[in-house]
Structure 1
């Protein structure tokens, strides 16, 4: 007879297992969805609207996932050991971003970062508990690897000119498919075409590929199934070829660093196998890199099916050969190698010697590739990038500049930081030269200026504690225990190490991988009870679930409302393309701003709408509404240049140039290298000064002239500073004095009776060609300032007389002017 009690338990167990599997599959599905939405926290052109909605949807999905996890795993929630308390500690990370809201340079970007860090906290908590389960861990790892390989394939399809084929599928998952193709899956810059896949930025894709190259090697050496060994070996070549096609110097520099660090975790036999697989796949990839690169370059210019077929043929045949070799090595050589080195592996320092040797061999290879003809086997684009790896290369020098400028920001916001998105908002105020970079190209520095020393210490303590406990548990663990969560170490270490040089963590998908990986590493920590904070299971379960659940409800509601706001903003932009109705355009903008009162895109559009209506009917109410809207939004977004420009334009329309000029002066220090800002200060300062002079307000005239000439002096100092930049460092945006700036500055110095300064300023604008009226005017004012000081320039005077017979008379008139 069957045991009814046992039958009920078995049924309950099966039901619980089914529910758990469904939960893990759901997590996997969300990871898959997020892979095709590699949204950034800030865009290069400053427009954040495009990437906001996916962030909020990710937040909604994360919150729903958290609720399902609480419902599914409520009884497993406890605060008994160190791992459990990490689920409490991770809540401090979004809290530090909430704290930094009080001093945020941009409220909109700061709120986005609060939501993003809530996503990270949720993924960590779920990973911490779910990845303790063997089946759940296996499902998540398989999903992560499948997503990685799909992204590699997705990128190579674009490289071989088949973007429209995959774009037809990707458009269902991503908002970055335009005109049938995924935007910038292959990007173009001064180096030529660079592969980016779903990331739209080659360096971040390189960091991703680096992580999953080592992940693939790890699974080759640990998989027990022959087909798994062969498949992961097969993928090594596509990954390495893709890495080469990114042309990422940072990726090539950091790859050996991460490789050596990972080798330290392995026994000598595994170390040799890792080197062997990377060597075989690397050589194979280098051999085919030239034809694959050349085919990709031609196919992206003009697609041909025969060319694409040839490219795929070269890649797949090479990958198949490496896949076959991987299976053979793992089946025949690996067991013998492990047996032969078993005695050596027992020694404490056995895992140090091969990594040290790898450093030496790696150094020799670098010398060979960079200093000999061996680099000629590489495509020209890749060999040029290798040649340019040095500390005097412009991207290296620029990064050092970013880092120094970031420390300037920190000096002004040391304790709690300047809020999420601080660098994007503030860098123009602190920059050393007129570069454009909304990213500091260093995740840790960017994090530091966002949350200050307090938040950074909490974050680094959290990260380092997990690494310390994971490594300690790894050393003590069995072989299976070491392998079970090693993938997460690979992902976290690879992405974070590369993030020292770039902004990989500005991609929320990369951040999710890192925090899920941290959760996986924490799940593998040794079980150690915390007796000091021993709390009853029911109390801990209820309190923790309540706090986390209520917080998630708030985040969920906020995210839903933000999705509605983003939809409304997008609707407004759609309507404005097809309608001129004031009411139709205004309605969605009002909806967005009722939720996010300072959202820059909608503020600017609604202000422009008010302005248009005012110009049509001269109704003061619309003018005042536009001014009030901008002033209110600027309280939250004081560094938004477009809003400031829009406010100045409104004052000028109303014929209130004094107010517009005051906005220019008050905000000049925020844009220290914006030459257009200086030009406006100088030219408008001259006009207002002349207006004051005409009404007899000489003190006001001098006030305007002094502000304008101060700006001119700053431009001159800036130009001199740019000459001190290291050789090889690019200046950035144009920063030079125009003839108009010179003429007006010279006039103002002259009219303030600062004759020496006038002559010095005007002399800069003296040209050989005096046929143009503007050049003649500069010369006249210059000669007048000299003569007033009892000096002269007879050569210039004679040249001027040749094109202007009345030159002497005109100069005398300037000398006789009274101010």
Structure 2
């Protein structure tokens, strides 16, 4: 039997010698793709058209690279060794995702992940062939390092206030640059500002920095030229400072873990050099972190050139000192250490002592910075993050909850999984408490959820085989080939270890780096010959045939998906600027022609048709809305937006019971969504009131029992949340909101449980309603009128605050205020429905007064339901224009008509102007109100 091959040139090098120009062209194209990817490909499991297109473009480009590779290396392909077999095994990864489509929770996201996995497989196979040639391997390593250093520089440009420059450098090809600024390169959360660079997520950037910190040290020690040593040493400080600025606890905790693991691969001299270089860079980084942090916080509030120059002065000065010291260490200390310790390196266990000492050193440093006042040398925000590192910290407890809930999904989808993006679709059904996380925060668990046990075993077998064979070959290497694939091991190990605690591989660029690195390790691994020889031409032709057909099919699909995504995004932009139904509809129809299950396009087209129906009453638009929704929901049964649109369709059809059942039948999919439950209770309550008015006791009982059961679910959930550890955040809000209290309390009152009704009202009537909980006033005309009037006032104030927040660019606050506005207005409208029902049933002498109708009409107007507003306001009009309430009713009626550009009621207008000539200006003021 022939000897194993340890990273030596395979037969593909012969093809390179015959076609060096083609190989170099493919290599350059490969590096350009790697440079394009970080600025283009974002999170894969999002559902927004502006982020999905790069997924399909990445699949297209990587597929073209793979076809070029197949053509170039066709004659060189042999199934002779284990390494060769991996090029075939890589195709099993996208195949398992294709199989998971059979039971996918979301066909849309599952297809996105299929394209993603194809990209990874294409990158792996292409790298396997390119990296077998030493010069191409070195060139690709240099390209990867250059890209990494540019990403670090890009992040620091944004941190030190030069976001305009940073945006201009990449804005010409990156969709993430809006208004000249790269979105969230410096993000803000409860911890303050955090550096994210291109990733828009600090923890993933920390994983990236950790990997390339160690790669930079490796490159520094490997380099034989002083320029290389100086450059790599120079970059250590920017990387460490950037890592600290991410405020990532996971990055800081796992950094020493990965460092010690990597030390185990090194000889004693190399271990000492690694430790020394990192110690020098670490000390100098700590010295400048405080001022660089303070200056960054200042510059992100208001830019001044003096502060920016000062910040760059600290960074460049410390980096230059580190580079110079690194050069001295490599020039003088490294040779001396080799002479002194070279003889000890052959001794058994010689490489274990320093890692063991490092464990003690790491423990001591951790104690100093976490358990003592030594952390005060760090900026306050970093010190606080370190102080909070413990197993009772909320992010740790939340991750444990994610993992437990993830196993519930695995239990229900064990074999083939949920398809790509399954957790994002299903987590609300399985979650223990109302957290909001479309990621499991553990790559391996998320992979298991998506492809099941079958796919997970394939994936783990694939990567563990490469790691085990590489490590075995690295340990057995006959010479001290320190550069033998170690560059790639560092990247793959660092990212995968960090992915135990986060979702780094949901970013395509991180996944591309991992699979490129797996390819680099496979090239250098111990590769034994296969027992069966597969040298026949038909084997090569069969493999390439399958590869070509599969790749060609996915390339064809990617072209269609790219076109569909472009149309969807064009429609989304048109919605913001156009009022033309046909203009907006055209790209949506084109987008859905290729992908009828595209949730965003289906939602937009359905909403568009429903709005046109409200204006025209043409049933054709409702029929189209229904067809679009039902077709999309076949593949997207867990999509909340589509389900909400379906309920809206039934509302327009006057089929209230069907709309109610949309919420009832899908309630278990959104176990902790208080807004979903509020809608369900509201609809059940109003349907029960209608049944009561018709003296339908069985119908009344059915709806009332349903509403009260949901209300009990809410109150039980509130009690359960009190049992969570105090350090664990609850997540989204989950409490009895005013609308829920109004409807549940009304049912309890009608069933004779007055005490429970009062308790419910008091529990939910907060945030502005507290003075309306007097038991003696409940369910009277005056009480209903007060609730509606208060809802109108509170909602109008929230609407104004939302508009101000949006104008200042604070979308999060704007969204929060919009949610508050909607809740206030819904409380008022439901109170009106109850008052009207009580009036019709002659309960407690309730009447619908002009003042009550006025405030209800105002709510409908500010909710942009103009037709309903006009009808409501007209109910309250009288001939007494000396009455200020009547004049205000008339004013709002005329303003609604002006807003809708419909025929003005001249009789009302003349009477109003005759009563008060200033009313004309007031009508225009109301009609011009921003909504």
What is residue 616 of structure 2 aligned with on the other side? 617
Decide whether the 8 Å contact of 2:206 with 2:246 is kept in 1: yes
Decide whether the 8 Å contact of 2:434 with 2:730 is kept in 1: yes
The answer to whether residue 500 in structure 2 is matched with residue 497 in structure 1 is: no
Distance in 2 of aligned mates of 1:268 and 1:319: 26
Distance in 2 of aligned mates of 1:672 and 1:433: 9
Distance in 1 of aligned mates of 2:749 and 2:573: 53
What is residue 529 of structure 1 aligned with on the other side? 529
What is residue 41 of structure 1 aligned with on the other side? 44
Does the C-alpha gap of structure 1 residues 586 and 749 become closer, same or farther in structure 2, counting only changes over 3 Å?
same
What is residue 179 of structure 1 aligned with on the other side? 179
SS in 1 for 2:592: helix
Distance in 2 of aligned mates of 1:747 and 1:11: 83
1:539 is displaced (CA, Å) by 2.4
Distance in 2 of aligned mates of 1:65 and 1:727: 52
The answer to whether residue 63 in structure 2 is matched with residue 63 in structure 1 is: yes
Does the C-alpha gap of structure 1 residues 617 and 124 become closer, same or farther in structure 2, counting only changes over 3 Å?
same
1:750 is displaced (CA, Å) by 5.2
Aligned residues: 774
Structure 1 residues 453-501: Cα deviation after superposition (integer angstroms, max 9, x where no partner): 1111111111111110000111112456441311110000000100111
What is residue 28 of structure 1 aligned with on the other side? 31
SS in 1 for 2:357: helix
Distance in 2 of aligned mates of 1:161 and 1:370: 30
1:150-549 aligned at under 5 Å gives the runs 150-479=150-479, 481-532=481-532, 534-549=533-548
What is residue 7 of structure 1 aligned with on the other side? none
Does the C-alpha gap of structure 1 residues 12 and 202 become closer, same or farther in structure 2, counting only changes over 3 Å?
closer
Does the C-alpha gap of structure 1 residues 480 and 660 become closer, same or farther in structure 2, counting only changes over 3 Å?
same
Distance in 1 of aligned mates of 2:557 and 2:256: 43
What is residue 20 of structure 2 aligned with on the other side? 17
What is residue 79 of structure 2 aligned with on the other side? 79
Distance in 1 of aligned mates of 2:317 and 2:265: 33
What is residue 720 of structure 1 aligned with on the other side? 719
Decide whether the 8 Å contact of 1:607 with 1:626 is kept in 2: yes
SS in 1 for 2:354: helix
Distance in 2 of aligned mates of 1:815 and 1:582: 48
Distance in 2 of aligned mates of 1:742 and 1:768: 13
Which deviates more from structure 2 when the two are superposed, residues 156-165 or residues 343-352? 343-352
1:740 is displaced (CA, Å) by 4.1
Distance in 1 of aligned mates of 2:389 and 2:471: 33
Which deviates more from structure 2 when the two are superposed, residues 119-128 or residues 344-353? 344-353
Decide whether the 8 Å contact of 2:741 with 2:765 is kept in 1: no
Decide whether the 8 Å contact of 1:770 with 1:776 is kept in 2: no
Distance in 2 of aligned mates of 1:413 and 1:11: 47
SS in 2 for 1:175: coil
Does the C-alpha gap of structure 1 residues 537 and 150 become closer, same or farther in structure 2, counting only changes over 3 Å?
farther
Distance in 1 of aligned mates of 2:283 and 2:770: 65
Distance in 2 of aligned mates of 1:763 and 1:434: 23
SS in 2 for 1:76: coil
1:448 is displaced (CA, Å) by 0.8
Structure 1 residues 48-91: Cα deviation after superposition (integer angstroms, max 9, x where no partner): 21211111111111011011101111112111110111111111
Which deviates more from structure 2 when the two are superposed, residues 572-581 or residues 597-606? 572-581
Does the C-alpha gap of structure 1 residues 596 and 221 become closer, same or farther in structure 2, counting only changes over 3 Å?
same
Decide whether the 8 Å contact of 1:470 with 1:522 is kept in 2: yes
Distance in 2 of aligned mates of 1:376 and 1:383: 7
SS in 2 for 1:80: strand
What is residue 640 of structure 1 aligned with on the other side? 639
Distance in 2 of aligned mates of 1:778 and 1:348: 87
1:682-761 aligned at under 5 Å gives the runs 682-749=681-748, 751-752=750-751
What's the TM-score once normalised by structure 2's chain length? Answer: 0.80
The answer to whether residue 579 in structure 2 is matched with residue 580 in structure 1 is: yes
SS in 1 for 2:432: coil
Distance in 2 of aligned mates of 1:580 and 1:462: 53
1:561 is displaced (CA, Å) by 0.7
1:257 is displaced (CA, Å) by 0.6
What is residue 910 of structure 2 aligned with on the other side? none
Does the C-alpha gap of structure 1 residues 326 and 773 become closer, same or farther in structure 2, counting only changes over 3 Å?
closer
Which deviates more from structure 2 when the two are superposed, residues 609-618 or residues 594-603? 609-618
SS in 1 for 2:188: strand
SS in 2 for 1:742: helix
Distance in 1 of aligned mates of 2:152 and 2:739: 53
Does the C-alpha gap of structure 1 residues 177 and 739 become closer, same or farther in structure 2, counting only changes over 3 Å?
closer
Gaps of 5+ in 1: 1-9, 782-812
Distance in 1 of aligned mates of 2:68 and 2:402: 43
Distance in 2 of aligned mates of 1:780 and 1:623: 37
1:689 is displaced (CA, Å) by 0.8
Distance in 1 of aligned mates of 2:126 and 2:135: 15
Structure 1 residues 213-255: Cα deviation after superposition (integer angstroms, max 9, x where no partner): 0000011111111111111111100100110111110100110
Decide whether the 8 Å contact of 1:104 with 1:110 is kept in 2: yes
SS in 2 for 1:194: strand
Does the C-alpha gap of structure 1 residues 581 and 539 become closer, same or farther in structure 2, counting only changes over 3 Å?
same
SS in 1 for 2:194: strand
Does the C-alpha gap of structure 1 residues 520 and 612 become closer, same or farther in structure 2, counting only changes over 3 Å?
same
Structure 1 residues 615-664: Cα deviation after superposition (integer angstroms, max 9, x where no partner): 22211111111012111211111111111111111211222211100101
What is residue 558 of structure 1 aligned with on the other side? 557
Does the C-alpha gap of structure 1 residues 775 and 594 become closer, same or farther in structure 2, counting only changes over 3 Å?
farther
Does the C-alpha gap of structure 1 residues 778 and 104 become closer, same or farther in structure 2, counting only changes over 3 Å?
farther
Distance in 1 of aligned mates of 2:686 and 2:317: 72
1:583-598 aligned at under 5 Å gives the runs 583-598=582-597
Decide whether the 8 Å contact of 1:767 with 1:775 is kept in 2: no
SS in 2 for 1:341: helix
Distance in 1 of aligned mates of 2:768 and 2:457: 61
1:751 is displaced (CA, Å) by 4.3
1:89-104 aligned at under 5 Å gives the runs 89-104=89-104
Gaps of 5+ in 2: 1-12, 781-841, 847-931
SS in 2 for 1:369: helix
SS in 1 for 2:43: coil
Decide whether the 8 Å contact of 2:762 with 2:770 is kept in 1: no
Decide whether the 8 Å contact of 1:652 with 1:660 is kept in 2: yes
Structure 1 residues 334-387: Cα deviation after superposition (integer angstroms, max 9, x where no partner): 112122222221122111111011000110011111122221111111111110
Which deviates more from structure 2 when the two are superposed, residues 767-776 or residues 317-326? 767-776
1:211 is displaced (CA, Å) by 0.1
Distance in 1 of aligned mates of 2:271 and 2:309: 36
Decide whether the 8 Å contact of 1:765 with 1:778 is kept in 2: no
SS in 2 for 1:727: coil
SS in 1 for 2:736: coil
Structure 1 residues 692-739: Cα deviation after superposition (integer angstroms, max 9, x where no partner): 122122111111111111100100110011001111111111111134
Does the C-alpha gap of structure 1 residues 295 and 526 become closer, same or farther in structure 2, counting only changes over 3 Å?
same
Does the C-alpha gap of structure 1 residues 704 and 249 become closer, same or farther in structure 2, counting only changes over 3 Å?
same
Distance in 2 of aligned mates of 1:337 and 1:767: 72
The higher-RCO structure (CA 8 Å, 6+ apart) is 1
Decide whether the 8 Å contact of 1:765 with 1:775 is kept in 2: no
Decide whether the 8 Å contact of 1:392 with 1:727 is kept in 2: no
Distance in 2 of aligned mates of 1:108 and 1:765: 39
